[in-house]
Amino acid sequence: MKLELRGITKRFGSLTANDHISLTVEPGEIHCILGENGAGKSTLMNVLYGLLPADEGEILLDDEVQHFEGPGEAMKAGIGMVHQHFMLIPVFTVAENVMLGHESTGFAGFLNLNEARKRVREISAQFGFDVDPDALIEDLPVGVQQRVEIIKALSRDAKVLVFDEPTAVLTPQETDELMTIMRQLRDAGTAIVFITHKLREVREVADRITVMRLGKVVGEASPTASNAELASLMVGRSVELTVQKQAARPGDPALQVRGLTVIDHIGQLVVNDVSFEVRAGEILAIAGVQGNGQTELTEALLGLQQHVEGEIELDGNPLSGLSVRNVLDAGVGFIPEDRNEDGLVAEFSIAENLMLDRSDSAPFVKGGTLQLGFRSTFAAEKVSEFDVRTQSIDTAVGTLSGGNQQKVVLARELSRDLRLLVAAQPTRGLDVGSIEFVHKRIVQARDSGIPVIVVSTELDEVDALADRIAVMYRGGIVGIVPGGTDRETLGIMMAGEQPDDPNGPAPDPHDDEGRSGTRGEAA
Amino acid sequence: MTTTTDHTIPDAAPIVLEKTVVKSWKTPITLSIVALLSIVLFIVFRRGGDTTFTFAGGRIAPSLPQLVVPTTLTCVILTTLLAAMAALSWWLLARFAKVPLWYSSVFAFIFVVAFLTWAAGDNSRPLPITSLLLGAVSLSVPYIFGALGGVISERSGVVNIAIEGQLLAGAFLAAVVASMTGSVWLGLVAAVVAGVLVSFILAAFAIKYYVDQVIVGVVINVLVLGLTNFFYSQVLAKDASFLNDPPLLPSLPIPGLSAIPVIGPVLFDQSIIVYLMYIAVAAVYIGLFHTRWGLRLRSVGEHPQAADTVGINVTGTRFWNVSLAGAIVGLGGAYFTLGSVGSFSEDMTGGQGYIALAAVIFGRWDPIRATLAALLFGFASNLQYTLAAVGSPVPSEFLLMLPYVVTILAVAGFVGYVRGPAASGKPYIKS
């Protein structure tokens, strides 16, 4: 089925999220829509899928104008969508999720689960998926959950399939498999819309590329275009794709973690006997697919987790068992992975957010009263130093863009006298310009002799920043390898296996000597 | 289309993290405290004489012979048993890391038997088991209807604090309509209508206007209480024989089943509203977990956006299911006026809607478990009346507390970590 969008316009108040977007997707082709976060890609797809009404413009399927009142109608017309945040109900089984909304039923609305199971098995067999129809979604790894999303769309006979940022949650191997699946679907005649901001993927799989920026289509590109060409089209100026940094000059071990175990409320070892060290002046990146214990590890370092065993030492002083306040006072800076949830108070002003973790003592507070004068001077200074784009220091942080919000967090943490910086997903959801900025500041912190831990699920980021890389899988550290290790190896480790290179790193995760030996060898 | 990748990742297996068990010593500690309490109560303050249990029949079922046991000896035996079980629970936890639920249940049952033996000892009046159970079922009826309504509403994503108001409105309108028309059936219909009307307010504010559901619920309860009090004192009291003298629902013994001793009169010689309750429990259970209606209802309560993307009307589904919940609770309200008392009086539900809400949580949003929880609360409520009637040594002030103490202990002590419907209480706002 051929999909055509003509002049789609969508406004939210004064913001035009989509400005007269037109594009055509032919059956049997993979059409990439490339653009930064906030370029309007997801809005466009939500309009297409009937989740949002368009202010202007038409959607045509096989040259017939469509009017979708809701996703149900879009689906009936043959449009399927694999959402960025999976639209699956965690406590339902695969079969229940696939049948939801178009259930086959018997007498009095009784569910015919066998029918749904059969459908899941049929589609699984067709594409070589290995999905158990009776497994609960919450027990499945994200890669498999995504397949369930694909099965869900195909079970409704989707002829146009939209993938909205599908690779954000996958390991490199899973990403490669998804590409294979997309090609299979294309060869079967499905029209595929692939939304992404990752250049590598676009060049690998796209038949045609449309680039969006700030709500507009800024051009088409050929899959043979270079990364730099695509990036400058996407951002609107030439950008540095790699961070300029000197080789690390690691000093003495500053942070030492030995046998760290974190137990969650249902008794799972979310972090399982993890040991590592970070030297002053080096960046240890913690790579891994999301949900393999990175969050809990960083929270345990900060004292936010309840059941923690093992030892954490910073410059020889124990951190484990201290309150969050004391951990902060010991010089730990923390950039949380969800800045809206844990990093900032959205309703507070920039100035207030900048003093959040120092609200108990001088110079911000004296004798129980806020030192407003000092706060304003401090905030003005930091806003200019960290290039926060804002009207005033009294603007509520919630109204800033993601990049500027993250700069506020960064400014707050880096303006303290740090002995350790823990940055969890520091560039998630940021535009390319802000990513550059954040990366530069992190490298600067390293060069000033601070040990840095960066948790990231993006291999590009790991590659750009890491001096050493620890890969986490199911709560444990699979291994620690030098920075610059190739994607292939990291991908294998992210799936929990040791790379099969006999000379490569195969450290015993509980053997500190083995690890440092590896480091020397490979460097 | 047979070109499958040759390196299918074997990742279909669930992520199984290594598990450790954080041993919770709550159960053995609780059991030990109860055992200690039993020793003090049943042995130190022991009572002599005999305890008599009677098992009266009903209109159809025959009576069973009464059971006479020596109070002190029985209490000592049962208390020893309790102490042994409490001790064993420490070992169970150390060995298997878990004390099974049935173990705690058996323990609780033995404690109740010991308590009844002790309370009715010393040659006081015989303890009528049949009427103890019959009363427990009667008092449970509003709890069960309320809990079913709560389960449906919360499973669809709307917290139903307004159970209390729905019960009261149902009781009120049932009394008035049945009294005016002389028909209990019209009274039942009116109760359903009243419950639905109250639900409409909840649904409109919570679903359409995104008002905090707990606040709306509480306000509705206050509103219904105020309205019914007003109409009771200003209207009903002036012409009670016309407006507040409804006929009672007749008992309809089920042939055969009602002839079983004890169980027959307790369960199968009841009015239509109780039989409707049995049907409702089964229907809600089957409906929730085996039909399209239940699947869609649960989906909007767990992940409304996912339901929306497969073409389910989230707002509509929530609205009609909250209304259905109101209908069920309203029917339960009719039991106050048409099933047991026979006239409406001010605040006659007296907070029972909140206990029904506790039953929803204690029952983990499952209709069967919630029903069992409601029966437990009903039993605790009736125990006070029965014990007062046989002349037990426990002060009546303490007995009045019993149902609430049991509720608090049950919800706080034994529920622990439970997970309700993920989107319950959160309005669905389309972005």
In DSSP terms, which residues pair with A477 in a beta bridge? A472
* B interface test, pick of A76, A89, A156 with most B CB neighbours within 10 Å: A89
Q: What is the pLDDT confidence band of residue B21, given thresholds at 50, 70 and 90? A: low
How close A107 gets to chain B, by Cα (Å)? 10
pLDDT of res. A501: 55
The Cα diameter of chain A in Å comes to: 74
The CATH T-level fold of domain A244-331+418-435+446-523 is Rossmann fold (3.40.50)
The domain ranges of chain B are: 26-124, 139-383
Place of tokens 């960046």: A283
pLDDT of res. B5: 36
- By Cβ distance, the residue of A49, A75, A132 closest to B12 is A132
pLDDT of res. A509: 43
Alpha helices in A7-70 (DSSP H): 41-48
Rounded-to-integer distance, Cα B261 and Cα B259, Å: 6
- By Cβ distance, the residue of A109, A177, A307 closest to B293 is A109
B295 and A71: CB-CB below 8 Å?
no
The three-state secondary structure class of A58 is strand
Domains A3-235 and A244-331+418-435+446-523 share a fold: yes
B310 and A51: CB-CB below 8 Å?
no
Q: What is the DSSP string of A160-226?
A: EEEEESTTTTS-HHHHHHHHHHHHHHHHTT-EEEEEES-HHHHHHH-SEEEEEETTEEEEEE-TTS-
- Per 3-state DSSP, what percentage of chain B is helix, strand, and coil (rounded to 5)? 70, 5, 25
The string of pLDDT tens digits covering residues B201-234 is: 999 999 989 999 999 999 999 999 999 999 999 9
Q: Quick one: B336 exposed, middle or buried, by C-beta within 10 A (0-12, 13-18, 19+)?
A: buried
Interface of B to A at Cβ within 8 Å reads: 1, 3-5, 7-12, 14-15, 17-22, 290-293, 295-296, 298-299, 302-303, 305-313, 417, 422, 430
pTM: 0.80
Q: What residues of B are in contact with residue A473 (Cβ under 8 Å)?
A: none
Smallest CA–CA distance from B2 into chain A, residue: A126
- Per-residue pLDDT, averaged over B307-312, amounts to 90
The domain ranges of chain A are: 3-235, 244-331+418-435+446-523, 340-416
The three-state secondary structure class of B124 is coil
Nearest to B384 by CA among B369, B401, B367: B401
B309 and A81: CB-CB below 8 Å?
yes
Nearest to B135 by CA among B409, B389, B408, B411: B389
A89 and B430: CB-CB below 8 Å?
no
pLDDT of res. A495: 85
- By Cβ distance, the residue of B15, B292, B306 closest to A141 is B15
Nearest to B403 by CA among B220, B194, B139, B193: B139
The string of pLDDT tens digits covering residues B237-273 is: 888 888 888 999 888 888 888 888 888 888 998 999 9
- Pull the structure tokens for residue B383: 């125990």
pLDDT of res. B372: 93
Q: What residues of A are in contact with residue B305 (Cβ under 8 Å)?
A: 87
- Residue B67, H or E segment: strand B64-70
B19 and A90: CB-CB below 8 Å?
no
- Cβ neighbours of residue B13 closer than 8 Å, sequence gap 6 or more: none
A87 and B290: CB-CB below 8 Å?
no
- Cβ neighbours of residue A226 closer than 8 Å, sequence gap 6 or more: none
Q: What residues of A are in contact with residue B309 (Cβ under 8 Å)?
A: 49, 51, 71, 81, 83, 87
Q: What is the DSSP string of A429-482?
A: T--HHHHHHHHHHHHHHHHTT--EEEE-S-HHHHHHH-SEEEEEETTEEEEEEE
Max avg pLDDT among A71-75, B278-282, B344-348: B278-282
- By Cβ distance, the residue of B5, B20, B303 closest to A180 is B5
Strand B50-55 and strand A160-164: the pairing is unpaired
- Residues of chain B above pLDDT 70, percent: 93
The three-state secondary structure class of A424 is strand
The string of pLDDT tens digits covering residues B31-64 is: 899 999 999 989 898 888 888 899 988 777 888 8
- Residue B108, H or E segment: helix B101-119
pLDDT of res. A241: 63
pLDDT of res. B415: 60
- Pull the structure tokens for residue A265: 């409320």
Check pLDDT > 90 for residue B94.
Answer: no
Nearest to B142 by CA among B276, B326, B335, B327: B335
How close A269 gets to chain B, by Cα (Å)? 6
- Per 3-state DSSP, what percentage of chain A is helix, strand, and coil (rounded to 5)? 35, 25, 40
Smallest CA–CA distance from A86 into chain B, residue: B306
CB A205 within 8 A of CB A179: yes
How close A73 gets to chain B, by Cα (Å)? 7
- By Cβ distance, the residue of A111, A180, A474 closest to B15 is A474
A101 and B303: CB-CB below 8 Å?
no
Rounded-to-integer distance, Cα A306 and Cα B120, Å: 48
CB A521 within 8 A of CB A501: no
Q: What residues of A are in contact with residue B313 (Cβ under 8 Å)?
A: 70
pLDDT of res. B367: 95
Rounded-to-integer distance, Cα A236 and Cα A218, Å: 9
- Pull the structure tokens for residue A433: 């310009």
pLDDT tens for chain A, 523 residues long, are 899 999 999 988 878 889 999 999 999 999 999 988 778 888 899 899 888 889 999 999 999 998 888 888 898 899 999 988 889 999 999 999 999 988 888 888 899 999 999 999 999 988 888 889 999 998 887 788 999 999 999 998 899 999 988 887 777 778 888 999 999 999 989 999 999 888 888 888 999 999 998 888 998 888 888 888 888 888 887 766 677 788 888 889 999 999 999 998 777 889 999 999 999 999 999 998 887 899 999 999 999 998 899 999 999 999 988 999 999 999 999 999 888 888 899 899 999 999 988 888 778 988 888 899 999 999 999 999 998 888 889 989 988 888 889 999 999 999 999 999 999 999 887 877 788 889 999 999 999 999 999 999 888 889 889 999 999 998 999 999 998 888 889 988 988 888 765 444 444 444 444 333 333 333 3
Nearest to A445 by CA among A161, A298, A243: A243
Rounded-to-integer distance, Cα A296 and Cα A304, Å: 9
Q: What is the pLDDT confidence band of residue B197, given thresholds at 50, 70 and 90? A: very high
pLDDT of res. B416: 60
The three-state secondary structure class of B84 is helix
pLDDT of res. B413: 63
Q: What residues of B are in contact with residue A495 (Cβ under 8 Å)?
A: 9, 11
How close A18 gets to chain B, by Cα (Å)? 15
CB B19 within 8 A of CB A268: yes
Q: What residues of B are in contact with residue A184 (Cβ under 8 Å)?
A: 1, 3
N residues, chain A: 523
Q: What residues of A are in contact with residue B417 (Cβ under 8 Å)?
A: 265-266
- By Cβ distance, the residue of B12, B303, B422 closest to A144 is B12
Q: Angle at which helices B352-362 and B129-155 pack, to 10 degrees?
A: 70
CB B24 within 8 A of CB B416: yes
Q: What residues of B are in contact with residue A509 (Cβ under 8 Å)?
A: none
Q: What residues of B are in contact with residue A140 (Cβ under 8 Å)?
A: 12, 14-15
Q: Angle at which helices B163-181 and B129-155 pack, to 10 degrees?
A: 110
Strand order in the sheet with A253-263: A269-279, A253-263, A307-314, A317-318
Query: How many CB atoms sit inside 10 A of residue B260's CB?
Result: 17
Nearest to A350 by CA among A425, A415, A412: A412
B292 and A109: CB-CB below 8 Å?
yes
- By Cβ distance, the residue of B22, B295, B305 closest to A87 is B305
Residue A239 to residues A35, A221, A232, A343, B84, Cα–Cα distance (Å): 14, 17, 6, 28, 75
Chain A, chain B: beta-carbon pairs less than 8 Å apart = 142
DSSP code of A486? -
Q: What residues of B are in contact with residue A109 (Cβ under 8 Å)?
A: 291-293
Place of tokens 């960083």: A298
pLDDT of res. B11: 42
- Residue B96, H or E segment: helix B71-96
B1 and A108: CB-CB below 8 Å?
no
Smallest CA–CA distance from B286 into chain A, residue: A110
Domain A3-235: give its CATH code.
Answer: 3.40.50.300
Q: Quick one: A300 exposed, middle or buried, by C-beta within 10 A (0-12, 13-18, 19+)?
A: buried
Alpha helices in B120-182 (DSSP H): 129-155, 163-181
User: Radius of gyration (Cα) for chain B, nearest Å?
Assistant: 25
Q: What residues of B are in contact with residue A169 (Cβ under 8 Å)?
A: none
Q: What residues of A are in contact with residue B157 (Cβ under 8 Å)?
A: none
How close B7 gets to chain A, by Cα (Å)? 9
How close B375 gets to chain A, by Cα (Å)? 28
B303 and A88: CB-CB below 8 Å?
yes
Virtual torsion, Cα B71, B77, B79, B80, nearest 10 deg = 160
Q: What residues of A are in contact with residue B17 (Cβ under 8 Å)?
A: 268-270, 272, 474-475
A92 and B305: CB-CB below 8 Å?
no
CB A63 within 8 A of CB A227: no
Mean pLDDT of chain B: 88
In DSSP terms, which residues pair with A66 in a beta bridge? A59
- By Cβ distance, the residue of A141, A173, A267 closest to B21 is A267
- Residue A308, H or E segment: strand A307-314
* B interface test, pick of A100, A180, A494 with most B CB neighbours within 10 Å: A100
A266 and B306: CB-CB below 8 Å?
no
The three-state secondary structure class of B31 is helix
